[in-house]
Chains A and B, each alone.
Chain A
Amino acid sequence: MTPRMLTVWISAAMVVVLVVAWVLHRRADARPELPALSAFAQQVDLTPLDRIAVQQEGRLKSFASYASSMMHFVSGPHTINGNTDTFTYLDLMLRPEAYDDADAIFVKNKPIRSEIVAALHRSLDEELTTRRMDGTPGIDGGDVAVRGEFDRRMERFRRTGMISSAMLGDPHVTRLLDLMERDLIRTAKAVGLIRTALGVMHPAVLKENLRIVPPPGGGVDDPWLTVEAIASATPAAEQGSVDAVVGTFGELTEGWRQQDPQRVNDAVARLAALLPAVSPAHYPATARLGWESWYFKARNMTWVWVVYLLSVILLVMAFVYRWPAARWLGLGVFLAAFGLHTFALALRWYVSGRWPNANMFEAVTTSAWFGACLALLLEVFVRRSPMQNLFALASGIASMIALMCVHFLPVYLNPNISNKMPVLHDVWLYIHTNVIIFSYCLIAMAAVSAVTYVLYRLGGGRADYVQAGGAGTLIQKGPSGKTQLAAEGSSAGQVLDGATMVLMELAFVMLWTGLVMGAIWADHSWGRPWGWDPKEVFALNTFIILALLVHVRLKVVDKGLWTALLAIAGCAVMLFNWIFINFVIVGLHSYA
């Protein structure tokens, strides 16, 4: 390796490290400081609640999953006071007064944070002026302290987005929100989220939604009931078990209000045993509820990105320095990451009762998993080729980025499990969507090898390329009976170009096939196979980039570089489609 090449590789590695460090720093910076857990919070044991089911929007969720989905509306990606969502849910419901001035509500939109801060500043100015005019003793001296504390709190709000309901109830802020709510294009949605948070954290709403009692003697279509509603809706014959539930819930409520951990623990344990007995036929399996709780406590296993990162570091070393130890170690860690990824996917499949590809969180994680599957297959196929390690490396980077996205951006990529929209109940969801997201992952993996190729060229590498294309490079053999890479003692440029072409060719076929399958589904679902919906158009545009790549490669002299640049452009268009079109432009695919 030339010194220039080494410099490029070290620079690239430093960029990767800096990006990861920056992400982690931002993450830590945006996280509110957590106070020490209260003695009550430390002593209370809510584990038995993992076996309790809650009915919400047509699903029977575990209490942990349900609490997570509800608290997501209130505190977004943050926990309140470092407590679990389950604890916070019960605390908000049973001791709402403790949260009057607690920074419990997450405001996602940063410009709105700034406007709220300005409104609160004005409010404080008015308050201090009034108090001074009223001659409140000692106010002048206290001004500085009040302002100092206020400024610190506002700074924290700007950084973390966490604010209290009392502050949002300030007249200046409510007027501001009222006015911003009228702006449907720019601010109404963000204000709507704040109002939802305020609504959801109201104890009456939390109680009304806590449907934990199966309908005694009812059918599958009958709604589950709250503890308050159950007493009046129960046939006399089944009153006994219901009375026990009501009484135990009352115990829990009282114990919680008195901050008596022992009483709460007893009540929780009894409740977990009593509720399934109300209507055993309708109660979901305890094992499923337990796994669902574990899955959410384990943060949806999105931390697997760290394992992928480790495999990437090792595989980069294996690729650059050709160290066999790094190769086997890297592949081993990659396999471990893939195993954990597979387990997370299978677990989500088990608890949701459907293949996970019905929302953005699931599409991103499943797409990465498809890429990892293919990478393993290809690694077996190219085990004796110079392309070895490259597919695992590309997949490792793509999966790592995908899982980092879902780990660090839960506000955008909501991990909560919900039912599918009615239109998605079709076999084509599994065929079309999986093929499309598979192709997206292939494009992302190809972009990784393409970026590596560009780095190689920037480092002074020769303008090498493979002559027989992607699969042809692996299949076709020359007069010597060997493939091009094997026959000529391939350069890194040829290897990278070959890997890019292998992935792009596969993406070309998969993307087109996915588009055709989507058209077949749309034909019988929406009444037209092609609606020029933005998502369709940009999927087609991604395909056009791939078609350009195939044709430009035939004409240009520097085939490797053009291939790499167009592969990166294809990935950019794909990401634009997946991110910008999904989040900004409203279309028929908005639910995806």
Chain B
Amino acid sequence: MKLLLDLFSSIWTGVVLLSLLFAYSALGSAAPAFRQMRIFEMTEFEWFHFWPFNTLIALICLTMTVTTIRRIPLKPVNYGVWMIHTGIITLAVGSVIYFSTKVEGDAPVVRRQVRIQLPGQAPATLVAMPGNSIELGGPENPYRFRIASIDPDWEILSGEDRGKRAYSVSVLVQSTEGIFIRQLLAGYPQYTEDLVRSTEPGPPWTRAKKALGEPLVDQGLELSLVYGPQEWFYLSNDISKNWALYLREFSEAGPPGPWVERPIEGLPLYNDYVADPADVWSTSPERARPLHVEVPAANATDDPLADVTIDVKSYLRYAVMETRRQIGGERFDPVVQVKLGTAKGHVEELQLVALDPRRRRAQGGWLVYEWVDSDQAFEKLLEPQEPTLRVRVPPASVDIEVPIRTLSRDDPDLPFETIEGTGYSWRVQNRHDGLVLPTGEVISVAVIQIRTPDRSFTRWVSDDPTKTRDLADVSDPAAEHPDAVELDTGIVMEYSPGVRPAPVTIVGGPTEDDLRLIVASFGEPPRSQTIAVGESVSIASQITLTVLRHAAHTSVVTRPMIVPRNQRNRDARARLSMIQVELPGAGESRSHWLEYHDWPILDSTHSLGRVVYRPLRVALDDGRTVELMFSRRRLRLPSPVALDDFVMETHVGGYTGQNLSILNWTSHIRFQTDDGWCEPLAVSVNDPKAFGGLWYFQAQWDPPSESSAGRNFTVLGVGSRHGVHVMLIGCCVAVAGMIWAFYVKPVLKRRCHQAGNTAVALGHRRTALRTAPAPEPAPVGAGEEGWS
């Protein structure tokens, strides 16, 4: 026992422990790859709560306690050391309380939902996010509602609230009766009104009150804006891993039921574990590393598969689902797989599909794969032709064809070409070749700015004349929007994109074994050569191209593609992770890949824009269909929380798209209490609010994008903070101790000497030395060799 006491009252023990603590911390923090190794798979929090760390802290506290009690007499000159040691031990105790009770997560809260009440039907809700839609009504009386647009700062232009700003949601309503837009203002239901198609020139929509004499087209249809309360918060993966599987039974007949949670214990975080390498696409050879994580039902009453334990057999940290062609099959669908590499080891593997307009180009268009049916077609690829524009003004018998060489996009001062005797002048603003339309069609367009004595407009001239459109010029003060306008038939234009081979073109055909490469450097005639599978060709300095596979007949397979580590965006965190689960099937188990979701939102009508919603739907042998989703664990909030308002304060000049132009974000939130919604609480950056034992922080926001003005939801950070005050007291006591030990103690000693009490002081010291078993001096408080 004495040996142990001596050991734990030795300064050297403390020094060794502190050194170990330093080494452990440095390793976990400066070399994150170490704690992320497969053997550990630890987050920073997990590493710093791992048993070696806890043991170190416990031993340091023990050493401080024993040393302080045994070696440092409690007298004024030593108060400093006592306080420092006591403070640090108190801090350690506070940390134990804090981290053992810590819950931390986030809760997305939408600003408003649209409540839809059709006559004689149950009400439905649609989260107010641009693009969200829902179909209601039934086969005889179908309704489709789509959030057309949202303006978070709509200015009320009339009535007694004139000048005030409100959150405005425009809902496009389509029914058998027609189409109209209903505009709803949060907090001002009295201003709800409809917009109908205008028959007049000018804006395409007009107020129903003006066109029909009534503010509402369909009086029986009730739409209103209501809160979208959030009842849960979702635990972060930082403190510990909080993966979860969500399940529910799916039925076409009714709305989806609530998700049932199954916590997943033991799932890794940083590394890929693949049960069967044949189940994934990968640029590097994958070893089979199956997982066997069993996920039993946690809530047998509501779980649709209560008696089934789901097995997670694979986990991918960063992967995307990718459809590829595999060699062999019946379908004529030429495909080539190539590898690009630089001398410095940058490698990228690509699959190009000749007949798929979206996938026949890569690398920003400088690598293209073509299939030719004949040698003549191949020869044509070697003959570049300039893009041209044919301009005709039939009444003036003008018909000219000019090559397009300069664009006003590049040269804003490019002069307009005047067509003599017609009043028309034009110039080419831009060209877009190989545009893929949503229908899959590929077109090329030239954007032409046209001026007449009366107006100016922009014409998108397509190589398919049926796709040519005129658009009002945004700089034309008469036009409010760059909407399509009636085609000016006075001037006819035809665009020919020309033929200019891409810098590198891989050409397959005409026979299945033919494979050639065309390299076209800028300003030089294209050069062609044959290339064989497995052959590497230098296509530019430092870059080689290797053909890995080539086939004319293929089959389509969709699998997760493991993104190479050097191409992973660190900010994506777990957003692109996925798991492979095994579900029971007819006589055999079936594997399914589940993509990660930040939040298990209820359904697509609750979508939050950029947040994905891709649950897996599986038909079971017993005829039922279940939906599964991979996400994080959740905890119920003490009370549902709603977002009343979201305010963004900016610096001079407003929001510029940069965070530096933002001063603050504030979510005005309300909690549901027994008496209804509480008064709004303003949660902003650096200003959290407490409610029901949890703290609420401003964590994320909905920024403006091309399709949305943003500010439609907020994400609140939610967390507990038990033990914080204990930690704070410990820290403050330690600070006071340091000041005492370094600055008060010398003053005390000086006064002691000045008062002629040296002998008394030395007497105390002798007493202390008599009681101390070891010959070594006590730390700090006892003074440095007692120079006094």
**B731: which A residues are within 8 A, CB to CB?**
512, 516, 519
Flag if A551 contacts B652 (CB, 8 Å).
no
Query: Which residues in window 539-592 of A have CB below 8 A to B?
Result: 540-541, 544-545, 547-548, 550-555, 559, 576, 580-581, 585-586
- Cross-chain contact A525 with B652 (CB below 8 angstroms): no
Contact A472 B745 (CB under 8 A): yes
Binary B-proximity of A481-505 (CB < 8 A = 1, otherwise 0): 0001000000000000000000001
- Bound-state Cα–Cα, A531 to B412, Å: 51
Which residues of A lie under 8 Å from residue B663 when comparing CB positions?
58, 422, 425
Does A115 lie within 8 Å of B342, measured CB to CB?
Answer: yes
Residues from chain A with a CB closer than 8 A to the CB of B743 are: 471, 475
When C-beta atoms are compared, the residue in chain A nearest to B651 turns out to be A58
A425 touches which of B477, B664, B746 (Cβ 8 Å): B664
- The residue in chain A whose Cβ has the minimal distance to the Cβ of B783 is A468
Tell me which residues across on chain B come within 8 A of A381, comparing CB atoms.
none
Q: A57-B661, A58-B652, A171-B522 are in contact. Are A467 and B784 (CB under 8 A)?
A: yes
A13 in the interface, Cβ–Cβ < 8 Å? Answer: no
Give the interface size class of chain B.
Answer: 35 or more
* Interface flag for A211 (CB, 8 Å): yes
Residues of A within 8 A of B787 (CB): 466-468, 472, 476, 478, 484
Q: Determine if B346 and A554 form an interchain contact, defined as CB atoms under 8 angstroms apart.
A: no
CB distance from A359 to the nearest CB of B (A): 11
| Known pairs A171-B503, A519-B731; A509 contacts B783 (CB<8 A) | no
Q: Given A59-B651, A171-B503, A186-B566, are A180 and B346 also a contact pair (CB < 8 Å)?
A: yes
Flag if B541 contacts A176 (CB, 8 Å).
yes
Stretch in B13-21, B383-391, B398-406 with 4+ CB within 8 Å of A: B13-21
Known contacts A60-B652, A179-B342; is-contact A421 B659 (Cβ 8 Å)? yes
- Interface 1/0 per residue, B709-737 and A, CB below 8 Å: 00000000111010010011001101100
Interfacial residues of chain A within 425-478, with CB under 8 A of chain B in the complex = 425-426, 428, 466-472, 474-478
Cross-chain contact of B22 among A127, A221, A478, A544 (Cβ < 8 A)? A544
A58 touches B742 (CB 8 A): no
Chain B 529-549 per-residue mask, 1 if CB under 8 angstroms from chain A, else 0: 000000000011111000000
Complex-state Cα separation, A522 to B57, whole angstroms: 22
Within 8 A of A (CB), among B1-28: 11-12, 14-15, 18-19, 21-22, 25-26, 28
CB nearest neighbor in B for A544: B22
With known contacts A422-B659, A550-B780, A581-B30, A182–B721 Cβ distance under 8 A? no
B residues in contact with A110, CB < 8 Å: none
A523 touches B724 (CB 8 A): yes
Report Cα–Cα, A118/B344, bound state, in Å. Answer: 12
A551 — which chain B residues lie within 8 A by C-beta?
11, 14-15, 18, 779
Q: In the complex, which residue of chain A has the Cβ closest to the Cβ of B342?
A: A179
Q: In the bound complex, how far is the Cα of B749 from the Cα of A472, in angstroms?
A: 9
Q: Write the nearest CB–CB distance from B78 to chain A, whole angstroms.
A: 13
> Interface with A: B320-328, B462-470, B683-691, which one?
B683-691
Known interface pairs A179-B342, A548-B19; A476-B749 also in contact (CB < 8 Å): yes
CB < 8 Å neighbour of A179 from B14, B47, B363, B724: B363
| Chain A positions within 8 Å of B104 at CB level | 527-528
A24 contacts chain B at the CB level, 8 A cutoff = no
B366 at the interface (CB under 8 A from A): yes
Q: Contacts A472-B784, A532-B48, A553-B784 hold; do A509 and B742 have CB atoms under 8 A apart?
A: yes
Give residues of chain A (50-109) contacting chain B, Cβ–Cβ below 8 Å: 55, 57-60
Greatest chain B CB density within 10 A among A426, A479, A537, A585 is at A537
**B-contact 0/1 string along A109-152, CB 8 Å cutoff:** 00100010011111100110010000000000000000000000
In the docked arrangement, what's the CA distance between A309 and B728, Å?
43
With both chains docked as a complex, state the minimum distance between the C-beta of B285 and any C-beta of chain A, in angstroms: 20
Can you name the residue of chain A whose Cβ is closest to the Cβ of B106? Answer: A527
Q: How far is the CA of A529 from the CA of B566 in the complex (A)?
A: 32
Tell me if B524 is interfacial: C-beta within 8 Å of chain A: yes
Residues from chain A with a CB closer than 8 A to the CB of B661 are: 57-58, 419
Contact of A425 with B686 at beta-carbon distance under 8 Å, contacts A544-B21, A551-B779, A554-B11 already known: yes
Residues of B within 8 A of A527 (CB): 104, 688, 695, 697, 717-719, 721
Q: Which A residues are in CB contact (< 8 Å) with B567?
A: 182-184
Which B residues are in CB contact (< 8 Å) with A466? 784, 787
* B659 & A476 in contact (Cβ 8 Å cutoff): no
Does A262 sit within 8 A of B, measured CB to CB? Answer: no
Is A524's beta carbon under 8 Å from chain B?
yes
Give, as a whole number of angstroms, the nearest-CB distance from B504 to chain A. Answer: 8
In the complex, chain B residues whose CB is within 8 Å of the CB of A520: 728
> Chain A contacts of B685 at CB under 8 A?
422-423, 425, 525
| CB closest residue in chain B, given A220 | B652
A265 to B180, CA, bound (A): 58
B29 lies within 8 A of A537 (CB):
yes
Write the chain B residue with the least CB distance to A520: B728
Chain B contact residues, CB within 8 Å of chain A: 11-12, 14-15, 18-19, 21-22, 25-26, 28-30, 32, 44-45, 47-48, 95, 98, 102, 104, 238, 340, 342-344, 346, 348, 363-364, 366, 409, 412, 475, 477, 503-504, 521-522, 524, 539-543, 565-570, 650-654, 656, 658-665, 685-688, 695, 697, 717-719, 721, 724, 727-728, 731-732, 734-735, 738-739, 742-743, 745-747, 749-750, 753-754, 758, 776-780, 783-788
23 contacts between A and B (CB under 8 A): A57-B651, A115-B344, A119-B542, A122-B540, A171-B366, A172-B540, A172-B542, A184-B568, A187-B346, A223-B656, A466-B787, A472-B787, A476-B750, A479-B758, A509-B742, A519-B731, A523-B724, A524-B688, A525-B686, A545-B22, A553-B784, A554-B11, A554-B778
The 10 closest A-B pairs by CB, nearest first: A58-B651, A122-B541, A467-B787, A58-B661, A475-B746, A537-B29, A119-B541, A472-B746, A532-B44, A516-B731
